[in-house]
Amino acid sequence: MNDLPALARDTALAARGVSKRFGSVVALDRVSLEVRRGECVALIGESGSGKTTLLRCFNRLTDPDEGQVLVDGSDVAAVDPVQLRRRIGYVPQDGGLLPHWRVRRNAALVPWLRGATDASAQADRALALVGLDPAKLGERWPRELSGGQRQRVAVARALAASPDIVLLDEPFGALDAITRADLQAGFGTLRRELRVTALLVTHDLAEAERLADRIGVMHRGRLEQVAPPERLRDEPATEYVRALLARARGRA
């Protein structure tokens, strides 16, 4: 620990020299990253580049082989994973709503796990924040909602217990372009209002540019560059970053 620089006081998430192997596959190779309080960092890269693995280190869905992961300044290895997860919001790509729970109960999950007596009220506030009318939709089953509505509920669920940090794993990837743009705009505004720290995994450069303060480019388990969008564009640090951006522009 001594050889590592002290953390800045406003660092919410930090990975220091984190490595992870799955069998012979190197998923993370000595990755270091810091996310400041209130900041949104997007991780982009191809499938298998390690971006989701890095994300999962922060709520201990994955434990690294080497290196250190810190949340709010404390080493997550020393924290009970269940308690840790209950104070970090999480939005998976497919929503991951419990199909046998109504919308309100889904949104109330984390407050309920934390023992809140007003879990339903917290759920309703969160549903309202993401633009869903709790009176109208609260008693619906997830399967009665559209894809976009389901993903809004997933975001509401992640925010219901008012966490300081939210992890999002390709949260809007499965939606059609119009719905995606809609949700991206809504989430961006909400995040800034609530001053939530966010780490966002995406394969969509446009989404990263729209939502993130800084973008981290991952390639074969290494973090090639972390920079604000315009710096990434103007001063790509490696040939891979340059090529990736060029490809993304070509498609857009």
Near another protein by CB under 8 A: residue from 70, 158, 165, 232: 158
Pairing of strands 25-36, 11-22: antiparallel
Select 9 or 100, whichever has its Cβ closest to another protein. Answer: 100
What whole-number distance in Å separates Cα of residue 115 and Cα of residue 82? 13
Residues 6+ apart with CB under 8 A from 88: 58, 59, 71, 163, 165, 166, 167
The amino acid occupying position 102 is R
Residues in the chain: 252
Q: Which letter does DSSP use for residue 79 in this model? A: S
Q: Kindly state the tokens that stand for 226.
A: 């972390």
CB of 175 to another protein, least distance (A): 15
Considering only 15-23, 35-43, 98-106, 181-189, which stretch makes contact with another protein by CB under 8 A? 98-106
CB of 12 to another protein, least distance (A): 18
When binding is defined by CB under 8 A, the residue of 98, 135, 185, 246 that contacts another protein is 98
Which of 157, 191, 214, 219 forms a contact with another protein (CB under 8 A)? 157
Supply the minimum distance, in Å, between the C-beta of residue 59 and another protein: 6
**Residue 17 or 147 having the CB closest to another protein:** 147
Query: What is the spatial distance between Cα 107 and Cα 97, in angstroms, rounded to a whole number?
Result: 9
Which H or E run contains 37?
none
> Computed over its alpha carbons, how large is the radius of gyration of the chain?
18
86 binds another protein (CB under 8 A): yes
Select the residue interacting with another protein from 127, 154, 156, 244 (CB under 8 A). 154
Piece of the chain touching another protein by CB under 8 A; list 36-44, 79-87, 116-124, 183-191? 79-87
Nearer to another protein by Cβ, of 197 and 225: the residue is 197
3-state secondary structure 142-181: HHHCCHHHHHHHHHHHHHCCCCCEEEEECCCCCCCHHHHH
Q: Does 90 bind another protein (CB under 8 A)?
A: yes
Counting contacts by CB under 8 A, is residue 109 touching another protein? yes
Closest separation in Å from C-beta 237 to another protein: 32
What is the Cα–Cα distance from 71 to 102, expressed in whole angstroms?
Answer: 32
Residues that bind another protein (CB under 8 A): 59, 61, 82-86, 90, 92, 94-101, 109-110, 113-114, 141-143, 154, 157-158
